[in-house]
Amino acid sequence: EKRIVPYEAIGEAKLNELVDAFYSKVANHPDLQPIFPSDFTEIARKQKQFLTQYLGGPPLYTEEHGHPMMRARHLPHEITPTRAKAWLRCMSEAMDEVKLEGPLREGFFSKLVLTAQHMVNTPDKPL
């Protein structure tokens, strides 16, 4: 029985395209832009490494940065439910843009929804 590795099905080129499309949206999103640096080079590089292993590819992130412990690494940043929603919206739009479709997209996106929810560490400010 062959197991499908999402990373192999998507491919390195498309994953890189996706991450670049994603951060151009993050850079322009009013809820997200304030908590990100203006230069996305390093975060995009790390995200490509992370998503590679997240999708079953080689453990590039861990090799360079150690255990991912993503929730802990996000604690210095105020991740609110609104920001998690905005992050997922940017990702969904980036997936549209690079034409990542079908079950591969659905599986990847559902996993990201759970991870994004897990990153939330701050309540939304009341109006």
Centre a 10 Å sphere on the Cβ of residue 99 and count the other Cβ atoms it contains.
9
Residue 66 CB contacts under 8 Å (≥ 6 apart), including other chains: none
Near ligand HEM by CB under 6 A, which window of 2-10, 11-19, 43-51, 93-101?
A: 43-51
Stretch of 4-12, 14-22, 39-47, 96-104 contacting ligand HEM, by CB under 6 A: 39-47
Q: Toward ligand HEM, which CB reaches closer, 77 or 96?
A: 77
22 in Cβ contact with 91 (< 8 Å):
yes
Indicate which single residue of 65, 101, 110, 124 sits in contact with ligand HEM (rule: CB under 6 A): 65
Query: Whole-number minimum distance, CB 101 to ligand HEM, in Å?
Result: 20
Our finding on whether 121 is near ligand HEM (CB under 6 A) is no
Buried b (16+ CB within 10 A) or exposed e, 53-87: bbbebeebbeeeeeeeeeeeeeeeeebbeebbbbb
Letters for 12-31 (x = contact with ligand HEM by CB under 6 A, - = none) are: --------------------
